[in-house]
C-alpha cells in the first residue's frame, strides 16, 4: 500500500512540483488535525454529560470511543444545525435522501448514560417528496400543490368531504363513489384524498408506491390501452393487470369514455377483478349510479347491470349536485 502511495505522490510531484505538493499535503494534515481536535472536544462533551453509548433509532448501539461512530454522530448533529441555520433559504430539494446534508433533522437526547438519536427528513423535504409522489401516481398537475384550504365547501359537497376524512382516518375496505355534474369538484377532492392517503404509507421506492396507490383518468387509461394494443399487440387483461392489483385505485371520470362492447368489457374486467380481490377503489363520475347504468347500457344492458351491481354493493356514495364552478367563475 505504501508503494502505491509513494508512486502517487511522485506522480503528483512531477505534475505540480515539490513545493506545491508539500503545501497541499500540509493543508490536508492541518485540516485532519483540526477535525480530530473537534471530535475530541465533542467526545469530552458527551462524556461530561454522562453519555458513553449512543443508540441508533433502528436499535443498534455504538460506543463514542469508536472514532468512526463518533464522527458519524458528530456529522449528523452538525448537519441538523446547518439545516436549521439555512432553513428559511432552503427549498429542501437539492440534497434530499442524503444523510448528513440539508433536509435531515437529527434529534439527540441523553437518558441514563445512553445517547439516543434519530434522523428525520425535514418538513420541506417531506413536502417535496409528497408532491413528487403525487405526480408519480397520476394526480393531475393542477391539484398536486393544493390542500383542503383551497377547496370550497358547499352544501352539495359537505358530505363527500366528511366521507373522505373518515376514509383516510379509518382505512375501511369500502369503495367510494362520487357522482355529480361537470365542474363540481370531484376530481379536486379525489386528488386531495390521494395526497392524504399517500401520507398514511411509509413508502420510499417508486415501484413500491405504484403498487400501493394509483390515480387514473379513464379517458387516458383507454387511450394508453389502445396504444399498447396497436404497438405491442398486448391484450387488455395484460395491460390492466397492474391496475387490478394496486392496493388503492382512484378512477377519475368513470363512464366518460366512449361506450362500446369492447370498452364495456374492459370496464367489467377491471371492476370485477378488484371486486373479487376486495381491493379499495374510489370512483368519480358525471353520473349517479342509476344514470351510469343507463349510460353503459347503450352497448350492453346486461354487462352494464353487472358493473353497477358491484359498485352498489361495495360503495359508499356521495353526490356533488350540478353547480358548475367553472361556469360560475366564467360568468362572474
- pLDDT above 80 for 312: yes
Question: Could you tell me whether strands 248-252 and 175-179 are parallel, antiparallel, or unpaired per DSSP bridges?
Answer: unpaired
For residue 66, the model assigns a pLDDT of: 74
Residue 160's H or E segment, with its range, is helix 158-170
- Mean pLDDT computed over 59-72: 68
Predicted confidence band at 25 (pLDDT cuts at 50, 70, 90)?
confident
Predicted confidence band at 100 (pLDDT cuts at 50, 70, 90)?
very low
Alpha carbon distance 310, 154 (integer Å): 29
Percent of the chain with pLDDT over 90: 43
CA 57 to chain centre: 22
CB–CB of 318/176 below 8 Å?
Answer: yes
CB–CB of 216/138 below 8 Å?
Answer: yes
DSSP reduced 3-state for 57: coil
- pLDDT above 90 for 38: no
Which of 37-41, 180-184, 310-314 comes out lowest in average pLDDT? 37-41
What grid cell was written down for 132? 413528487
- pLDDT above 80 for 9: no
- pLDDT above 50 for 315: yes
pLDDT in tens, 273-301: 999 999 999 999 999 999 999 999 999 99
For residue 331, the model assigns a pLDDT of: 56
- Looking at per-residue confidence, does 216 or 63 come out higher? 216
Amino acid at each position: 500500500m505504501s508503494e502505491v502511495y509513494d508512486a502517487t505522490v511522485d506522480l503528483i510531484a512531477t505534475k505540480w512540483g515539490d513545493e506545491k505538493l508539500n503545501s497541499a499535503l500540509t493543508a490536508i494534515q492541518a485540516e485532519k488535525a483540526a477535525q480530530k481536535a473537534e471530535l475530541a472536544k465533542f467526545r469530552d462533551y458527551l462524556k461530561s454529560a454522562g453519555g458513553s453509548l449512543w443508540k441508533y433509532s433502528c436499535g443498534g448501539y455504538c460506543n463514542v470511543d469508536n472514532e468512526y461512530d463518533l464522527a458519524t454522530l458528530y456529522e449528523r448533529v452538525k448537519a441538523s444545525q446547518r439545516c436549521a441555520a439555512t432553513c428559511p433559504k432552503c427549498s429542501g430539494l437539492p440534497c434530499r435522501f442524503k444523510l448528513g446534508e440539508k433536509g435531515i433533522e437529527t434529534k439527540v437526547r441523553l437518558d441514563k448514560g445512553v445517547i439516543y438519536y434519530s434522523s428525520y427528513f425535514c418538513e420541506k423535504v417531506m413536502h417535496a417528496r409528497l408532491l413528487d409522489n403525487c405526480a408519480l401516481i397520476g394526480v393531475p398537475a393542477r391539484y398536486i400543490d393544493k390542500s383542503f384550504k383551497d377547496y370550497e365547501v358547499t352544501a352539495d359537497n359537505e358530505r363527500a368531504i366528511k366521507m373522505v376524512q373518515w376514509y383516510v382516518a379509518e382505512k375501511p375496505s369500502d369503495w367510494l363513489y362520487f357522482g355529480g355534474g361537470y365542474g363540481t369538484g370531484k376530481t379536486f377532492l379525489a386528488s386531495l384524498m390521494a395526497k392524504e392517503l399517500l401520507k398514511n404509507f411509509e413508502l420510499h421506492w417508486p415501484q413500491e408506491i405504484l403498487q400501493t396507490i394509483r390515480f387514473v383518468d379513464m379517458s387516458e387509461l383507454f387511450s394508453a390501452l389502445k396504444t399498447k394494443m396497436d404497438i405491442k399487440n398486448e391484450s387488455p387483461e395484460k395491460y390492466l393487470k397492474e391496475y387490478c392489483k394496486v392496493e388503492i385505485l382512484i378512477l377519475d371520470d368513470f363512464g366518460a369514455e366512449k361506450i362500446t362492447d369492447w370498452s364495456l368489457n374492459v370496464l367489467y374486467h377491471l371492476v370485477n377483478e378488484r371486486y373479487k380481490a376486495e381491493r379499495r377503489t374510489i370512483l368519480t363520475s358525471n353520473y349517479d349510479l342509476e344514470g351510469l347504468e343507463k349510460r353503459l347500457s347503450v352497448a350492453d344492458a346486461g354487462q352494464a347491470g353487472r358493473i353497477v351491481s358491484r359498485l352498489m354493493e361495495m360503495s359508499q356514495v356521495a353526490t356533488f349536485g350540478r353547480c358548475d364552478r367553472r361556469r360560475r367563475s366564467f360568468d362572474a
